[in-house]
Structure 1
Amino acid sequence: MSRTRTALLAALALIAASAGTAVAVVPSDTALAAVPCTVDYKVQNQWDTGFTAAVTVTNNSAAKSSWAVKWSYAGNQKVTGGWNAKITQSGTAVTAANETYNATLGAGGSVSFGFNGTYSGTNAVPATFTLDGVTCNVDPTDPTDPTDPTDPTDPTGPGAKVDNPYSGAKVYVNPEWSAKAAAEPGGSRVSNQPTGVWLDRIAAIDGVGGGMGLRDHLDAALQQKGSNEEVVQLVIYDLPGRDCAALASNGELGPTDIDKYKSQFIDPIAAILSDSKYSSLRIVTTIEIDSLPNLVTNTGSRATATPQCDTMLANGNYVKGVGYALAKLGAIPNVYNYIDAGHHGWLGWDDNFAPSATLFHQAATSEGATVDDVQGFITNTANYSALKENNFTVNDTVGGTSVRQSKWVDWNRYVDEQSYAQAFRSQLVSAGFNSTIGMLIDTSRNGWGGSARPTGPGATTSVDTYVDGGRYDRRIHIGNWCNQSGAGLGERPQAAPAAGIDAYVWMKPPGESDGSSTAIANDEGKGFDRMCDPTYTGNARNGNNMSGALPNAPLSGHWFSAQFQQLMQNAYPPLG
């Protein structure tokens, strides 16, 4: 379609909407021959809080034995019930898949379905529709089409960032992790889920022990991609003096090895990602887990301070390393950088919240980086904080005592991960980051389902019985982080599930250990942290409570079958 035609269609849609019927109009002339599919979306009836819509899909490509149409709403529209398609919704994203009786969609054939929905404010027609991952109502052969990915002047084509890399894209399934998951009894239920690829040492770039290296993963992603958009998730994790407050995840580089970090780790990764062979992939990098937050919470006069974190604050190599990684990787057009932002049980307190955002901005404007190199932030990586606590809020009181005064919440302003991520996003914008940043939430191990999942609030005997009886997160203490007993898989990865959230992700591959239960000699630079020992009685960072860790765990990153089985058993939403 030409730009003139697109503008005309938009005008027609606006006229129709102003007349009381919103409609996505598609051209009816011979130009459709080059359009792979068309979607005609009409709001047939609309009232103050609800509407009825009819959708007709025409397939101009090869015949299909099944189909799925997807779109996202710009407002708060919710589908409440439909017909002639199986319609599901997650956040603003809607999927309409075939019923058994209308699964076949021949070349040139059409299928229609409808649904009822609710809304408030405006009820705008979705801007983009896809059929099995292919964008409809667009001519991919027309270089003047403003949504054509081959158009060099197109702001959404190669060489320019999209607002949310996960929207309209598949996400890479790591075949190495998938094989381990599938080999577990019942593991095939989740083995097709996308997970992060961890580059946690220099050797991982080329592959460790005969395993896949970075190029191998990118090549496999191209095969999985086909004609669709595809996200590849990488964890960049090898800072000098890495993870100064947790021995289990210490790294190979000493506190002063900043030059080695740049030249032997970041530069080789950037060289591979810059290869034009991979320019069609959307590469999401999560930058240096658990690094910058340590400089806020585990330094100085705080009871949780460590000499190692004081060293990293003094020499500035966390800030320099993160800034250098952002600058080098952010210069690659199809790379999307997300900085680690801890979790609500770490940075949600007043003393940590704003100072963390300020420190992140400092790192994002060091070593040649700018805020434009930052797509967003990720929270809860490799952690267990519940996504949403539905049985209590931070504003509740019991007998005149605030929930914030409970032992579990302990004056935190946030009780779950989603409320924290959304609020922290606003704080980050206030600190100088772009207003377009999005958040990722790692939901790989925060489901907390199974028989221990509460079905309602706790008893109102006291604020502690109220919170402890109703909280989904069943950890002994919110500071416990290693191989937690009772944890379950959380929400499955999905794009745009809530306002300000780019995606729920499984960045930490379920079944990979957080650290060993006992000291294990290794050549990976990983120490033994007592927080991974189930007999440990704790420290200042977890209120001197038991660690809550599972026994018999291997080194961090190694496969832990017992943990994987527990995660499946306690999954929420439950596995089928």
Structure 2
Amino acid sequence: MNPEWKAKAESVSGGSRISSNPTAVWIDRIAAIEGTSGSSSNGPMGVEDHLLEAVRQGASYIQFVIYNLPGRDCAALASNGELGPTEIDRYKTAYIDPIAAYQNDARFRSLRIINIIEIDSLPNLITNVAGRATETAMCNTMKSNGNYVAGVGYALGKLGAIPNVYNYIDAAHHGWIGWDDNFGPTAELLATAARAQGSNIANVTGFITNTANYSALQEPYITVTEQNRPSKWIDWNRYNDELSFAQAFRSRLVQAGFPSSIGMLIDTSRNGWGGSARPTGPRTTGTLDEQINGSKIDRRIHKGNWCNQSGAGLGERPRANPATGIDAYVWVKPPGESDGSSTEIPNNEGKGFDRMCDPTYGGNARNGNNATGSLSGAPISGAWFPAQVTQLMQNAYPAL
């Protein structure tokens, strides 16, 4: 239980109802390794401080997000990082190596140390590169220079050598790679990265889906069929919720060479979609799109919308072994920490302004040129957003 997030949660009315849930510690820049003061997303506690606190609590595990690749988040500006696209050596020596030194300290052998490896990186090399309408220049650069693959491989090898470390690689979500032309190639790319820079697949405990996203765990009133796949919401995807996607993608990863012992995590911190607007049954009248839109519990305008979504709610509370092939539901994105600013806010943390966080923006190819559905008044990525966590609690499902 991260005491820094706990304090923020309890600063909001009703926050004590959720503040004892375990959440991940995001190490999103080099300075965060030792701790920072005055940072939007990190507090004065560094990696060693958090590990010491976990031991003090008698916790069995602690979760870190390893998130500082060169050219980070090549398809979105809100979560750009501090390292340029060619700074792979600095990533290794100034970022991964010091984290590994702390995690390998004998004082922390009693802990299961869980690392979430580089979210929103490798899947971008499948979906947002040349040949796709969604391509970006930075994603093309990171595919050509190989530094996403090299960075993930190095992190896996260095951290995976520690006996009580468990690495889970980010695997996007169903609304990103659930289509046939993304599904298999992403699995194969993840296998390539797991073997890069001297690493091997034994350094991978599993994969995580829906990190910091909003895709519903299950859609109880919609079953994907050939008849409803043409709807605008499903859009020919094979999957319409995270649980079915994660279970199917796990099987595909085994085909790609990972052992059958791998498990999946699903980030359920913001995918509950409860509240008064939650459907109580399927809609069976109207056009296909009207039926799907009236039946779905995920109330986003488009599955490509990812920033501070209006109407979202807390999802399933963190728990282990909730379903076949799923190691745990987790809160990797701490509820109430912003995805990005609604308007441009100058900062010294390398975080840009992405119009996908602007509620007045009409969208782009990555969200079908739809409105963003984002909340107004949001601070920069990682900063505390009280209005968001208040709404998340109001719309929690299961309800608080």
**Aligned partner of 2:90: which letter?**
K
- Does 2:124 correspond to 1:294? yes
Of 169, 176, 180, the match for 1:339 = 169
Report what 2:93 is aligned to. 263
Match of 1:14 in 2: none
Shift of 1:460: 3.0
1:390-420 CA distance string (max 9 Å, x none): 001002x7xxxx1111100000000100000
Q: In structure 2, what is the equivalent of residue 218 of structure 1? A: 51
Counterpart residue number, 1:279: 109
Q: Does 1:470 align with 2:295?
A: yes
CA distance in 1, matches of 2:200, 2:396: 39
Output the CA distance in 1 between the equivalents of 2:284 and 2:57.
50
Superposed CA deviations along residues 42-94 of structure 1, whole A, max 9, x for unmatched, are xxxxxxxxxxxxxxxxxxxxxxxxxxxxxxxxxxxxxxxxxxxxxxxxxxxxx
The secondary structure found in structure 2 opposite 1:367 is helix
Alignment correspondent of 1:572: 397
Specify which of 394, 404, 413 is matched with residue 229 of structure 2. Answer: 404
Matches within 5 A, 1:408-487: 408-487=233-312
Of 231, 235, 252 in structure 1, the residue corresponding to residue 65 of structure 2 is: 235
The residue that corresponds to 1:248 in the other structure is 78
Q: SS of 1:384's equivalent?
A: coil
Equivalent position of 1:200 in the other structure: 28
Deviation at 1:190, TM superposition (A): 0.4
**Other-structure match for 1:559:** 384
Does residue 187 (structure 1) correspond to residue 12 (structure 2)? The answer is: no
Moved more, 528-537 or 450-459: 450-459
What is the aligned-residue RMSD (CA, Å)? 0.7
Deviation of the 1:301 alpha carbon: 1.2
Counterpart amino acid of residue 270 in structure 2? R
What CA distance in whole angstroms lies between the structure 2 residues aligned with 1:278 and 1:266?
A: 18
| Equivalent residues in 2 for 1:370-409, closer than 5 Å | 370-395=200-225, 402-409=227-234
Aligned identity (percent) is: 69
2:343 equivalent to 1:518: yes
| Match in the other structure for 1:488 | 313
Distance 1:476 1:208 in 2: 37
- For residue 459 of structure 1, report the CA deviation from its aligned partner: 3.0
- Offset at 1:461? 2.1
CA shift, 1:458, in A, is 1.5
Q: Tell me which of the two structures has the higher relative contact order, counting C-alpha pairs closer than 8 angstroms and 6 or more residues apart.
A: 2
Q: Return the alpha-carbon distance in structure 2 between the equivalents of residues 550 and 459 of structure 1.
A: 31
Distance 2:56 2:2 in 1: 12
Measured after TM superposition, the shift of residue 464 of structure 1 is: 1.1
- What is the alpha-carbon distance in structure 2 between the residues aligned to residue 258 and residue 327 of structure 1? 15
> What's the offset of the Cα at 1:480?
0.2
Give the distance between the partners of 1:382 and 1:553, measured in 2 at CA.
15
Could you tell me which amino acid in structure 2 is paired with residue 383 of structure 1? N
CA offsets 1:261-313 (integer angstroms, 9 cap, x no match)? 00000000001101000011000000000000000000011000000000000
The CA distance in 2 between the partners of 1:300 and 1:381, in whole Å, is 25
- Aligned-partner SS, 2:78: helix
Once residues 392 and 274 of structure 1 are traced to their aligned partners in structure 2, the CA distance between those partners, rounded to angstroms, is 46
1:249 match: secondary structure: coil
What SS does the corresponding residue of 2:93 show, helix, strand or coil? helix
For 1:222 and 1:386, the matched residues in 2 are separated by: 34
Question: What does the per-residue CA deviation read over 1:94-143, in whole Å, with 9 as the maximum and x for residues that have no partner?
Answer: xxxxxxxxxxxxxxxxxxxxxxxxxxxxxxxxxxxxxxxxxxxxxxxxxx
- Separation in 2 of the partners of 1:186 and 1:174? 18
Rounded Cα–Cα distance in structure 2 between residues aligned with 1:293 and 1:245: 10
Task: Write the letter of the residue equivalent to 1:570.
Answer: N
Q: Which amino acid aligns with 2:243?
A: Q
| Counterparts of 1:392 and 1:546, CA distance in 2 | 24
Q: How far, CA to CA, are the matches of 1:220 and 1:571 in structure 2?
A: 28
**Once the two structures are superposed, what CA deviation does each residue of 1:250-269 show, in whole Å capped at 9, x if it has no partner?**
00000000000000000000
Query: Could you list the per-position Cα deviations for residues 316-361 of structure 1 after superposition, in whole angstroms to 9, with x for gaps in the alignment?
Result: 0000000000000000000000000000000100010000000000
TM-score, normalisation: structure 1: 0.68
- Classify the secondary structure of the residue corresponding to 2:89: helix
TM-score normalised according to structure 2 size = 0.98
Residue among 170, 176, 183 paired with 2:4? 176
Q: Between Structure 1 and Structure 2, which shows a larger proportion of strand residues?
A: 1
> Tell me, what secondary structure is at the counterpart of 2:115?
strand
Counterpart Cα distance in 1 of 2:264 and 2:197: 24
Could you tell me which runs of 5 or more consecutive residues in structure 1 were left unpaired when the two chains were aligned: 1-172
Q: Aligned AA for 2:196?
A: S
Q: Distance in 2 between matches of 1:537 and 1:422?
A: 34
Letter of the structure 1 residue corresponding to residue 25 of structure 2:
V
SS in structure 2 of the partner of residue 235 of structure 1: strand
Larger fraction in helix? 2
Cα deviation 1:368-388 (Å, max 9, x = unaligned): 110000000000000000000
Aligned partner of 2:297: which letter?
Answer: Y
